[in-house]
Structure 1
Amino acid sequence: MVRFGIIRHARTVWNLEKKIQGREDIALCRQGIDEAAHWGDILKFEKFSLIVSSPMIRARQTSEIIAEKIGIDIAFDDNLREQDFGSWEGKKIADIRKDEPGIIEIQESRGWDFCPPEGESRNSVLKRALKAIRKATDIYDEHHVLVVTHNSVIKSILYSLMNNRTFTPDKTQVLKDYHLHMLTWKNKLKIEKLNHIRLQQ
């Protein structure tokens, strides 16, 4: 059996400004660096044996800070990268709604086929994210693995496991942001506990 904890990378300036990041490789801001260090202090007690991380700089920095605090190694998997938001990257959702009326609503109506212009579909994110998890189960059997990744990746995995086929980016409130969620793998992936530990702000 493999146990997984999964968290979102710490904050960047674009997170604070509510801009869509996607594949833009934005580094952590000062607040984010402090948050990652705090995650390290919190997660010391969870007995993780290694970290599997997105290689994007915001996730990489988060992982490196946590790993130094805990004293564990990091492996990187490209399949844990954030969703490609295409022409929406660097924009705010409110501005897109104002400048291109109806375009977000059209995509939201597509559910798991949601795909920003010139970007990547939610189904594609789910497929590669589960591939990363399955790879980790093959390599790290009997380990307790911390996964550091991105918002769309986390939501895709967890809402799929909850069989929520109507998931859209703006309309899901079950998952609390900046929380540790716990999963287990024993022949299949299962949710152990949602919103298990909160990053204190």
Structure 2
Amino acid sequence: MTTWHWIRHGPTHQTSFTGWRDVAADLSDEGAVARLADHLPSDAVVISSDLTRSVNTATAIQRSRTRLPHDPALREFHFGSWDGVHFSQVADRHPDLSRDYWETPGDHTPPGGESWDAAAARVAMAVRRIEAAHTGKHIIAVAHFGVILTQVQAVLGLSAHAVLAHKIDPLSVTTLHPESGTAERINHLP
């Protein structure tokens, strides 16, 4: 059975939408990084999105694990013109769309960005491709809040609205078993 260990990258300290903008992660809490690395299976393969915050987090926890090439399909949601804008400003500029984007996620799309459904489909294709190449393995995937939630949604069969109730902290582990449709843990901080 393939087991996915989804890791949210280290904190970015951003106070605005942060999607495809390439911002660094704060990995200065060496104790938290070490506990995370210790918690994960040593025989796993490691993959990350190609954004710096995920790449650097993956490097910090890799140790002797096999590293796969960074995958742009594991990027955070593409927020388009909302990226880098504070949430309150987005709500002021696009009150109906911003509310619908979070309250009834699905096909609502930020200007120049992608909808929840489009992002979930992008990530699902990547997961199938990665899993096909590493069937029966432990896969550590360092990614982003939205990406991880799409996988919780897919594995547990939740609606997008329901899955948004889950918290996904920086440097947390969400361990999923897609074949059995179960989550061993969600948002675990070792």
Shorter-chain TM-score bucket reads: 0.7 to 0.9
Matched, 1:20 2:17: yes
Matched, 1:51 2:46: yes
Asked if 1 retains the 8 angstrom alpha-carbon contact of 2:3 and 2:176, the reply is: yes
Measured in 1, the distance between the counterparts of 2:106 and 2:40 equals: 33
Alignment of 1:79-158 (within 5 A): 79-108=73-102, 110-158=104-152
Measured in 1, the distance between the counterparts of 2:21 and 2:82 equals: 11
Task: Answer with 116-125 or 189-198: which moved more.
Answer: 189-198
Structure 1 residues 143 and 109: alpha-carbon distance in aligned structure 2, compared to 1, 3 A threshold: closer
TM-score relative to the length of structure 2: 0.85
Shift of residue 190, structure 1, vs aligned partner? 2.5
Shift of residue 72, structure 1, vs aligned partner? 1.4
Asked if 2 retains the 8 angstrom alpha-carbon contact of 1:6 and 1:180, the reply is: yes
Partner in structure 1 of residue 176 of structure 2: 183
Measured in 2, the distance between the counterparts of 1:164 and 1:156 equals: 9
Matched, 1:64 2:63: no
SS of the aligned residue for 2:6 comes to strand
Asked if 1 retains the 8 angstrom alpha-carbon contact of 2:46 and 2:139, the reply is: yes
Structure 1 residues 138 and 85: alpha-carbon distance in aligned structure 2, compared to 1, 3 A threshold: same
Identical-residue share of aligned pairs (%) = 21
Gaps of 5+ in 2: none
Measured in 2, the distance between the counterparts of 1:36 and 1:25 equals: 22
Partner in structure 2 of residue 6 of structure 1: 6
> Number of aligned pairs?
187
Measured in 2, the distance between the counterparts of 1:2 and 1:198 equals: 22
Partner in structure 2 of residue 165 of structure 1: 159
Measured in 2, the distance between the counterparts of 1:173 and 1:110 equals: 13
For 1:173, the aligned partner's letter is A
SS of the aligned residue for 1:192 comes to strand
RMSD after superposition:
2.3
Shift of residue 60, structure 1, vs aligned partner? 0.5
For 2:165, the aligned partner's letter is Q
Partner in structure 2 of residue 197 of structure 1: 188
Measured in 1, the distance between the counterparts of 2:74 and 2:30 equals: 18
Shift of residue 157, structure 1, vs aligned partner? 1.7
Gaps of 5+ in 1: none
Where do 4+ consecutive residues of structure 1 move more than 6 Å?
none
